[in-house]
Amino acid sequence: MRIGFIGAGSMVGAIARGAVAAGMDGSSFLFSDARGVSAPALAAEVGGTVASSNDTLAWQADLIVLGVKPQVQSAVIAEIRSTVKQRGQEVAVLSIAAGRSLESMSRDFGATVPLMRAMPNVNAQVGASVTALCPNDVVSDAQCEAARSVLETVGSVVDIEEKDFPIFTALAGCSPAWFFQMIDAFGRAGVKYGLKKAQSVEIAAAAMLGSAQLMLKAAAEGANPSTLIDQVTSPGGSTIAGLLAGEEAGLSTAIVRAVDAAVGHDHRLG
The pLDDT assigned to 98 comes to 87
Query: How many CB atoms are located within 10 Å of the residue 14 CB?
Result: 21
For 101, residues 6+ apart whose C-beta sits below 8 A from its C-beta are 117, 162, 165, 270
CATH class of 167-267: mainly alpha
pLDDT computed for residue 265 by the predictor: 81
Residue 149: other Cβ atoms inside 10 A: 16
Q: Is 15 exposed, middle or buried (0-12, 13-18, 19+ CB in 10 A)?
A: buried
Tell me the CATH number of domain 3-160, given options 3.30.420.480, 3.40.50.720, 1.10.10.2160, 3.40.50.2300: 3.40.50.720
Inter-CA distances, 180 with 37, 122, 123, Å: 30, 12, 12
pLDDT tens per residue across span 174-186: 999 999 999 999 9
Enumerate the CATH 1.10.3730.10 domain ranges in the chain, comma separated: 167-267
Q: Is 8 annotated as a binding residue?
A: yes
- Looking at the chain, the whole-number percentage of residues with pLDDT higher than 70 is 98
DSSP state of 62: S
State the average pLDDT over residues 252-258: 97
If we measure between CA atoms, which residue out of 226, 219, 221 comes closest to residue 243? 226
Q: Please give the full DSSP string across 17-32, using - where no structure is assigned.
A: HHHHHTT--GGGEEEE
pLDDT average, residue stretch 175-200? 98
- Decide if pLDDT at 36 tops 90: no
Residue 7 marked ligand-binding: yes
The stretch 153-170 carries a mean pLDDT of 95
- As a dihedral over the C-alpha atoms of residue 256, residue 257, residue 261, residue 266, rounded to 10 degrees, the angle is 10
Look up residue 263 and give its amino acid: V
- In whole angstroms, what is the distance from residue 166 CA to residue 260 CA? 10
- Segment 148-175 mean pLDDT: 95
208 known ligand binder: no
pLDDT of amino acid 270: 47
> Is 31 within 8 Å of 48 (Cβ atoms)?
yes
Report yes or no: 10 and 125 within 8 Å, Cβ to Cβ.
yes
Name the E strands within the chain: 3-6, 29-32, 49-50, 63-66, 92-95, 115-119, 129-135, 155-159
Please, what sign has the CA dihedral across residues 38, 101, 158, 150? negative
- 0.95 surpassed by pTM: no
CATH 3.40.50.720 in the chain is located at 3-160
Helix, coil or strand: residue 101: coil
Averaged pLDDT, 56-77: 96
What's the pLDDT tens digit per position in 70-82? 999 999 999 999 9
C-beta separation of 114 from 143 below 8 A: yes
9 is annotated as contributing to ligand binding: yes
Consult the annotation and say whether 190 binds a ligand: no
Distance, in Å, from the CA atom of 219 to the CA atom of 226, rounded to the nearest integer, reads 11
Q: What is the CA radius of gyration of the chain?
A: 21
Q: Per-residue pLDDT averaged across 112-135, rounded? A: 95
